[in-house]
Structure 1
Amino acid sequence: MAKKRHGVESEIPEVSFLAPVGTPAGVEVLALTDLRRRVPVERLAVPRRPDFHHLVTLTGGTLRHTVDFTAHLLEPGAWLWVRPGQVQQWGDLAHAEGTLILFRQDFLDPATSAGARVEDPHAAVLLRPLSGDAAALRLAADHLAAEFRALGQLPLEVHTAALRHLLAVLVLRLAHLTAPVGAAVPEADTTYVRFRDAVERDFARTRRVEDYAGALGYSARTLSRATLAFAGVGAKEFVDRRVVLEAKRLLAHSDQTAARIADHLGFSSATHFSKYFHQRTGQTPIAFRETVRGHSTL
């Protein structure tokens, strides 16, 4: 059944985490062969918006996986990280072998979540580690999988704690692959976190950086410095990217008219929305919808 997100009915199925019976709530590790047996191919092919994290790595074959309208080709040694709220669609799994790790964000302790930047909606989706990092990541994933399969060998609370620590090692290593070798990874300071959360909450109400600055008690310049340091873009671009992403999701996965989407996103008219969307994507909203539905796998 369609669910509502930000007040507009969407046709994107929103999937919640459901741990297998008898396993610790909040994390699951399974082979892609098990995923193929568990979930019919036609269900995997449907775009979905899960409220939990997906980590995918291959040991053989290749996999094309689409995340928020970008197709990623996953090969052995690389990692795919899909975060809650992102719309994903599985490609052909027939010849892909590897591991899928599912986890709820609240399964990690707060320090790990902050250090791994798990809430960052602009974090890289596809990660290609160098050989040394790849070996360490493979070892961390193997330890996590082995512990997940060892249910019953330790008291449940100890088993759960071990899984939490092993998962923490994995996500921290993955998060820090995005920085150049030897470079310090900026910590998400309070300014950036408050701005990021405010944008997620209010992007359909305002696109003006000055409004966020006034509400949060910062100057617009301070917000831009914070987002540039952590997200790599200025504050205005940060807001615009979030608005455009939601517009794309609604255009691709709902039958709302452009006028209704424009109203939902806080535009004064469909014409204003169309101009804004075209300036940032090179396409009109209707052209984008036709392209996505007629010429892509979405």
Structure 2
Amino acid sequence: MKDSATPKKYTIKNIKKSQHNAVDFNFYTFEHFLKDAEHLTKSHRHDFYTFILTVDGIGSHIIDFEEYEIKPRRLFFINYDQIHSWKIGGPIQGKIILFSKSFYNLIYTGNSDIRSDTALENLPTYVDIPEDRFPSWLSICENIEYEFTRSEKFSEEVICLFLKTCVLKMERIADDFRSENNEADHKSNVVDEFKILVNKNFRELKTTKDYAERLSITPNYLNALVKESLGKSAGTVIKNRVILEAKRLLSHSDLTVRQISLELGFTDNSHFGKYFKNVTAVTPDTFRKNSINN
């Protein structure tokens, strides 16, 4: 644990000084964003979404305890409240796009894939953009930057549509690694919906049966789909999400273990301790002590 204080939660307005009085959207080149940004090397949260498109550079992102290399043509997506920090190994070129839920929802579409911010919940942490598709991504970023700096009539609406385009294009790249037949698509949709439900309800719902009921399928069928798609059981996915949040709070907050257990929906502190140890092989107190020493 870098420090005992709860990680600072940044808004679009206060994460970095900007010439634009931006509240719901901002655009930066990588080079400019990282100037005077020592505070961003420390663990922090975002109160907004972020697309990060890297053109070149050396370094990595640490996102929810996982470290991801910065590579050319790599597109990152950071969701609300994810614990995030930077390791910069040298100059980095790229584009950074910050936007809020309200900005993304500025334009409503009837397409369920992009009509609201819930569409972003299923985006992967990153994709590597194929070389032949990369110019189109740079073109989108240039158009967004143009509209943002010129701030003409309907500029916000145009940017919003470009953001929805980014969501679809990122999802399309991710889909290239999935089966394209209808049955696989159906299964993938169920698993995707399951992951969204887990992310929203892990504090209250902790069994496969709970989520199967929400999805109107049997627990055995849900478990089979999740295992086929993710290589792990539905119960493991649920536990991993609970444990991830527990690790966040143990590493980056001053809450007591009992307070954390209540925050995560456990009424019995000893039950939380057994639950945590069953997954991590250590007690919450031991994990916290080890985090402090790392």
Measured in 1, the distance between the counterparts of 2:231 and 2:206 equals 18
1:293 and 1:113, CA in 2 relative to 1: closer, same or farther beyond 3 A? farther
Tell me the C-alpha RMSD between the 2 structures.
3.5
In the alignment, which residue of structure 1 is the partner of 2:60? 64
- In the alignment, which residue of structure 1 is the partner of 2:25? 27
Match of 1:167 in 2: 163
Which structure's relative contact order is higher, taking Cα pairs within 8 Å and 6+ residues apart?
2
- The aligned residue for residue 3 of structure 1 is none
Q: CA deviation at 1:24?
A: 7.6
Secondary structure class of the residue paired with 1:92: strand
CA distance in structure 2 between the aligned counterparts of 1:252 and 1:137, rounded to whole angstroms:
36
Residue of structure 2 in register with 1:118 after alignment: 120
Give distance in 2, aligned partners of 1:294 and 1:127.
33
Tell me the alpha carbon deviations over residues 90-122 of structure 1, each in whole angstroms, 9 at most, x when there is no partner: 2237622221111123333453536994022xx
CA distance in structure 1 between the aligned counterparts of 2:124 and 2:196, rounded to whole angstroms: 19
The alpha-carbon deviation at position 14 of structure 1 amounts to 2.6
Match of 1:254 in 2: 253
1:100 is the counterpart of 2:102: no
In the other structure, the counterpart of 2:239 is 240
Task: Supply the AA of the counterpart residue of 1:141.
Answer: C
Change in CA separation of 1:138 and 1:45 when aligned onto 2, cut-off 3 Å: same
- 1:289 deviation in Å? 2.6
| Partner Cα separation in structure 2 for residue 144 and residue 134 of structure 1 | 16
Q: In structure 2, what is the Cα distance between the partners aligned to 1:204 and 1:182?
A: 30
Q: Deviation per CA, 1:99-149: give whole Å up to 9, x if none.
A: 1111123333453536994022xx421321221233332232222223322
**How far did residue 191 of structure 1 move?**
9.1
Distance 1:52 1:128 in 2: 22
Which shifted more, 237-246 or 139-148? 139-148
Provide the residue aligned with 2:149 in structure 1. Answer: 149
Match of 2:34 among 28, 33, 36: 36
SS in 2 for 1:256: coil
TM-score, length-scaled by structure 2: 0.77
Cα distance change on mapping 1:174 and 1:235 into 2, 3 Å: same
For residue 189 of structure 1, report the CA deviation from its aligned partner: 5.2
Structure 2 equivalent of residue 5 of structure 1: none
Q: Deviations over 1:155-179 (max 9, x none)?
A: 2xx2122212222222211122222
Whole-angstrom CA distance in 2 between matches of 1:53 and 1:204 = 22
Instruction: Give the number of aligned pairs.
Output: 277
Question: Which whole-Å deviations, capped at 9, do the CAs of 1:202-226 have from their partners, x for residues lacking one?
Answer: 4223412223445675532354466
Give 2:124's aligned amino acid: A
Gaps of 5+ in 1: 1-9
Q: Please show how residues 223-238 of structure 1 align to structure 2 within 5 Å.
A: 223-224=222-223, 234-238=233-237
Select the residue among 82, 89, 95 that pairs with 1:86. 82
Asked if structure 1 preserves the Cα contact closer than 8 Å seen for 2:55 and 2:74, the reply is no
Query: 1:62: how far off?
Result: 1.6
1:252 shift after superposition: 0.8
1:54 to partner: Cα distance: 1.0
1:255-278: CA deviation from partner (whole Å, max 9, x where unpaired): 223343234323464444333323
Q: Specify the alignment match of 1:294 in structure 2.
A: 293
1:130 is aligned to 130
Percent identity reads 22
Distance 1:18 1:232 in 2: 40
Note if contact 1:63-1:74 (Cα within 8 Å) is conserved in structure 2: yes
Check the 8 A contact 2:54/2:74 in 1, yes or no: yes
Instruction: Give the 3-state SS of the residue equivalent to 1:118 in structure 2.
Output: helix
Change (3 A) 1:93 1:102: farther
